[in-house]
A and B are shown apart, each in its own frame.
Chain A
Amino acid sequence: MNARIIKLFAFIGVTFAVLVGFTSYWTVFDANNLKNERVNKRPLFEAQKIKRGRILASDGTVIARSVAKGSGPSLRYVRRYPEGGTYGHPIGYSFVEYGNSEFEAYHNSELIGDENEFSSIFDELRGKDPEGDDVFTSIDPNAQATAFSLLGDQPGAVVAIEPSTGAIKAMVSVPPFDPNSVPTDFSALNQDPGAPMVNRVTQGQYPPGSTFKLVTATAALDSGAITPDDTINAPGSIQIQGHPLANDFDQDFGDINVTTALTNSVNTYFAQLGEKIGTGTLEEYMDRFGFNQKPQLDLPDGQMSLSGVFDNGTLLTGDDAIDVGRLAIGQERLLATPIQMAEVAAAIANDGDLMRPQIWSEVRDPDGRTVKKMDPEKQSDVMSEQTAEELTSAMKDVVNEGTGTAAALSGVDVAGKTGTAEIPDVERCNGLPNQAWFIGFAPADDPQIAVAATVECTEGQGGTVAAPIAAGVMQTLLGE
């Protein structure tokens, strides 16, 4: 029997080896997959033990902070947003059950202190709980409040950029959401037909209407296709791609130059200009402005949308069949986000250089020492300084004597462009037909602030509805 007992022992040894094999599979070989498993909440609970850093506005107003719950082994931190819905966009939320969104998601590694590996090891040795860094934003609380009060309950979006640095000064999307309510109302917020969880500044794709004529004018002037003095005959109505295209009230403008055309937003002028420069040149300048790619903002790619010409959700390129005459006036299936249109204004304001837009301004460790600061970065050379000057002077006329007079501020020259586009799916808006736009900057000669404001589902025009909102936000920011 003894030989068989030894064989039995060997068999048991083999079965135990199988146990070792499976254990090493879960602990080592498959561990990363398991940690990334969607239903595995352990990494989130682990993160909850870390005191997440605060998020602050430009003046030090606390937008998000973590408060301790429980003690000892059950100690954990829960996120609080003292300002409620004011910064719901673009800050987002951070809750264990629902993950992180927007700014909270993009800056997660700084907020949980992942970047300073060494000091966290020392902290652990000293028995100190791990703590994340504070992240300051460039958002101005007064501008944020002004944008909210001017938009009121009209669905829409406002974004303000400092042209010389790309710093975001205001970002408002209406209807807003209060991140504090995410843990209790998550599914209700997501199912709300008003889509409060969507950041309209970065995710709202709207027909930009006549504001896009600035892009067409940039392409035409900067490529040398026209000079500021060249004129084109702009009758009340023309045929483009075999279909009639008309000015408002079929007004005939005769021979006009680009400044007059911008000031009066003349469709028949820009449609012919578009055909003159062609799809290739126009698409090249769109690319320079940042169209056809995700904004380079510090928000998760998944929460930003592209701007460009779409066919049933697919982005078209310069090689596709595009009606360039209608594209030139902001029609032809063209969709743009408010952040993209603000970048158009900011590039013109900054002598033709587009600065990469950024919400964060500074990271400080828990002891208040600066870890890093936002370094303004040029995203692209859009146009020459001369082109920018020519456009600025035309945009001043728009506000002084054209469609954008409602954006005028006393004592400050404002440069801008209005837009009123027909909403493609008008049923969504209960029959209200228009998407109203204003983009611009001030002071015109020494731009400190560039703004895009848009209102969804309105009977009003860009010049009547959107221009006053943009003006109010610029006034608030310039008054400081």
Chain B
Amino acid sequence: MSASRNRELLALVPVALLLTAGFAAVFAQNDNQLTNLSLSYGLYFLAICLATHIYIRIRLPNADPYLFPLMALLTAFGLVMLYRLDAEMGSELARDQANWFVLGLILFAVVIHFFRDYSVLERYRYTIALISLGLLMAPRLPVIGSQVNGAYLGISLGPISFQPAELAKIGIVIFLASYLREHRELLVVGARRFLGITFPPLKHLGPLLVVWGAAMFMLIFIRDLGSSLMFFAAFLALIYVATGRLSFVIIGMAMFLAGAWVIYHTVPHVTDRVDIWLDPYQDPSGAGYQILQSMFAMADGGLFGEGFAQAMVVIPGTDAPLLPAAQTDLIYTLITSELGLFGACAIIATYLLVAARGFKVALLANDGFSKLLATGLTTVFAFQAFVIIGGVTRVIPLTGVTLPLVSYGGSSILANFILLALLLLISDRARREAREGI
């Protein structure tokens, strides 16, 4: 449907404008530090966007027109911030990120090519679930596993490091969507009321307990409250959408909180993380440094921000970080510091729009698996943004997940473009069927 595609092309214009303005501003500020070549990364990015648009036009003409431009917008936002960090630190983050973006879009094309009929995924759901769990555990393996700030989120194979949770989140959503599509009737029909609360039948409570157990296991095993929260929230969201039983969500949440409370008191790393969240001033130059610097940098931002490339990320005259992990964990802080509350709201609004389009895909889908898959993918994407933004703004304890598409990181870019590919596949089928009157 060419009308959709034309809208998509039009929606890429703001992306191009943001990128051009951002790169030009950073370049103008730091022309002595940056090579002229660096400006071409922006053009390179826009060319790839255009190529992807043409590919979608050919292969998925009916797909949602706004999802790709919105995600490209987030990527462009991240690219500008990374380019700005390059200007200060002499790194090549923007170039690397643009390369990952190309790789992500190749993967995007591959997924669209081979999974046009994505219902085959249902057949392999247990395999996918096992692989995903394996990926989550990988950071605890000897040799390849790596620990950052006490959490086990990454694996490194030689020079390449990877955050397997990024890919695992998609696998787990596929499994849950498929499993719940099949069992949702049973979960509802056999339910009993006890003390005014509806409990699912015991034999079907098993899977719920398994997923709860998995979330708790993750909390203990990879010690990351954020990703554990993200997975469990996506799971509860899917259960709710699948069964319509709010009581399941409440029971699940109660179980999560109870489990988290016990782990808080028994796993020292989690205890430290939570204590620092509650009172970062207890160790302002150690464990509390990152979150305090995040708050201080946001305070400097105010309503309108200090302007592109104006915030301090290192202690002047040294290499010591003033905003530790500004390219990953604290990229939202950096945006807030330079573009102010308004810039921060723009980012949050963009995520909300992605969520709106993702749920729109779910609403239009005709079969249960498609609906649940689109809902799950959208939810996990939105919750990931919540977990890291909530972390740096002290809504919840700070953890090391990436801000989807904005943070520097290959695995995040690759995984989120696979996620986008699946959403567009679902969307294309639903809208095609609607048009053909099926």
**Which parts of A32-70 form the interface with B (CB within 8 Å)?**
32, 34-35, 37, 39-42, 45-46, 48-49, 69-70
The docked-state distance in angstroms from the alpha carbon of A297 to that of B352 is 59
Across the interface, do A9 and B298 meet the contact criterion of CB distance under 8 Å?
no
**Which parts of B346-394 form the interface with A (CB within 8 Å)?**
348, 351-352, 355-356, 359, 362-363, 368, 371-372, 375, 379, 382-383, 386, 389-390, 393-394
The docked-state distance in angstroms from the alpha carbon of A6 to that of B359 is 8
Across the interface, do B317 and A5 meet the contact criterion of CB distance under 8 Å?
no
Closest partner residue, chain B, to A30 (CB atom): B299
Considering only CB atoms and an 8 Å cut-off, how many residues of chain A contact the other chain? Answer: 42
Task: Tell me whether B240 is interfacial, beta carbon within 8 Å.
Answer: yes
Q: List residues of chain B with CB within 8 A of the CB of A8.
A: 237, 240-241, 359, 375, 379
The docked-state distance in angstroms from the alpha carbon of A5 to that of B295 is 34
In-complex Cβ contact of B244 among A4, A19, A49 (8 A): A4
Across the interface, do A39 and B298 meet the contact criterion of CB distance under 8 Å?
no
Known A9-B355, A45-B315, A74-B316; contact A34-B386, beta-carbon cutoff 8 A: no
Q: List residues of chain A with CB within 8 A of the CB of B301.
A: 27
The docked-state distance in angstroms from the alpha carbon of A24 to that of B389 is 13
Considering only CB atoms and an 8 Å cut-off, how many residues of chain B contact the other chain? Answer: 57
Q: Describe B's contact surface by its main secondary structure.
A: helix
Closest partner residue, chain A, to B359 (CB atom): A9
Across the interface, do B299 and A26 meet the contact criterion of CB distance under 8 Å?
yes
Q: List residues of chain B with CB within 8 A of the CB of A41.
A: 315, 322
Closest partner residue, chain B, to A48 (CB atom): B316
Chain A 1-27, CB within 8 Å of chain B: the 1/0 string? 110111011011101101110111011
Q: List residues of chain B with CB within 8 A of the CB of A23.
A: 298, 336, 341, 344-345, 348, 389, 393
Q: List residues of chain A with CB within 8 A of the CB of B348.
A: 16, 19-20, 23
Across the interface, do B281 and A39 meet the contact criterion of CB distance under 8 Å?
yes
**Min CB–CB distance A42 → chain B (angstroms):** 5
Task: Tell me whether A125 is interfacial, beta carbon within 8 Å.
Answer: no
Known A23-B341, A28-B341, A48-B316; contact A5-B375, beta-carbon cutoff 8 A: yes
The docked-state distance in angstroms from the alpha carbon of A16 to that of B345 is 10
Closest partner residue, chain B, to A9 (CB atom): B359
Known A1-B371, A12-B382; contact A45-B341, beta-carbon cutoff 8 A: no
Task: Tell me whether B395 is interfacial, beta carbon within 8 Å.
Answer: yes
Task: Tell me whether B419 is interfacial, beta carbon within 8 Å.
Answer: no
Known A6-B359, A45-B316; contact A27-B296, beta-carbon cutoff 8 A: no
23 A–B pairs (Cβ distance < 8 Å), ordered by A: A1-B244, A2-B363, A4-B240, A5-B241, A5-B359, A8-B379, A9-B359, A12-B352, A12-B386, A20-B344, A23-B341, A26-B299, A26-B336, A27-B303, A28-B303, A28-B341, A32-B299, A39-B292, A40-B299, A42-B322, A45-B316, A74-B317, A75-B316
A residues near B, CB below 8 A? Answer: 1-2, 4-6, 8-9, 11-13, 15-16, 18-20, 22-24, 26-28, 30-32, 34-35, 37, 39-42, 45-46, 48-49, 69-70, 72-76
Known: A19-B348, A31-B300. 7 other contacts (CB 8 A): A9-B359, A12-B355, A19-B395, A27-B344, A42-B322, A45-B312, A45-B322
- Which 4 pairs across A and B sit closest by C-beta, in order of nearness? A34-B299, A22-B393, A39-B284, A31-B299
